[in-house]
């Protein structure tokens, strides 16, 4: 369990969901926001967060990978204590499942993303009360 007052790295490349900063702060996270995987990897060289919230973006035009997350996941393999929460489009669920077979995810949340869903998932890390403690952390479509 992550203690309140810990670090959360939010990687917002496309957006399209509510501002989650109030949720992160309400749960006691110190938050840094970056807008690219490159900046996120640079941040990881300086300081490791307890939690990363990132968008999954499938891109078939990459030469050696299929999404924006592979490079990040390669770095996170050396740091299994970091929890990764992925926000994804439902139509990309099968592609995300392929990635998940290679790299573990703490949780995944399908669009449309709501503050309540994010708070429930992150609340399990900080021990905050959530309405449905028996809910599966990984929401599948």
Q: Where are the domains of the chain?
A: 7-126
Residues recorded for the chain: 141
What's the CATH number of domain 7-126, 2.60.120.620, 3.30.70.20, 3.40.50.2300, 3.40.50.11260? 3.40.50.2300
CA distance 9 to 73: 14
Average pLDDT over residues 43-65: 87
Q: What is the mean pLDDT of the chain?
A: 86
More confident residue, 11 or 66: 11
Those residues with Cβ within 8 angstroms of residue 125's Cβ, 6 or more apart along the chain or in another chain:
1, 2, 50, 51, 83, 106
pLDDT band with cut points at 50, 70 and 90 for residue 17:
very high
The per-residue pLDDT for 127 is 78
Q: Taking a C-beta distance cutoff of 8 angstroms, is the pair 16, 56 a contact?
A: no
The lowest-confidence range among 33-42, 96-105, 122-131 is: 122-131
Q: What is the pTM of this model?
A: 0.85
The per-residue pLDDT for 123 is 94
pLDDT band with cut points at 50, 70 and 90 for residue 39:
very high
The per-residue pLDDT for 4 is 47
């Amino acid at each position: 369990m992550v203690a309140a007052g810990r670090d959360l790295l939010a990687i917002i490349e496309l957006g399209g969901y509510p501002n989650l900063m109030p949720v992160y702060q309400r749960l006691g996270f110190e938050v840094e926001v970056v807008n690219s995987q490159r900046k996120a990897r640079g941040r990881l060289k300086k300081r490791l967060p307890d939690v990363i919230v990132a968008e999954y973006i499938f891109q078939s035009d990459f030469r050696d990978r299929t999404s924006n997350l592979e490079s990040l996941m390669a770095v996170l393999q050396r740091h299994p204590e970091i929890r990764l929460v992925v926000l994804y489009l439902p139509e990309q669920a099968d592609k995300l499942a392929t990635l998940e077979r290679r790299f573990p995810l703490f949780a995944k949340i399908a669009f449309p993303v709501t503050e309540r869903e994010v708070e429930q998932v992150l609340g399990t890390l900080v021990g905050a009360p959530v309405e449905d403690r028996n809910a599966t952390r990984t929401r599948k479509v």
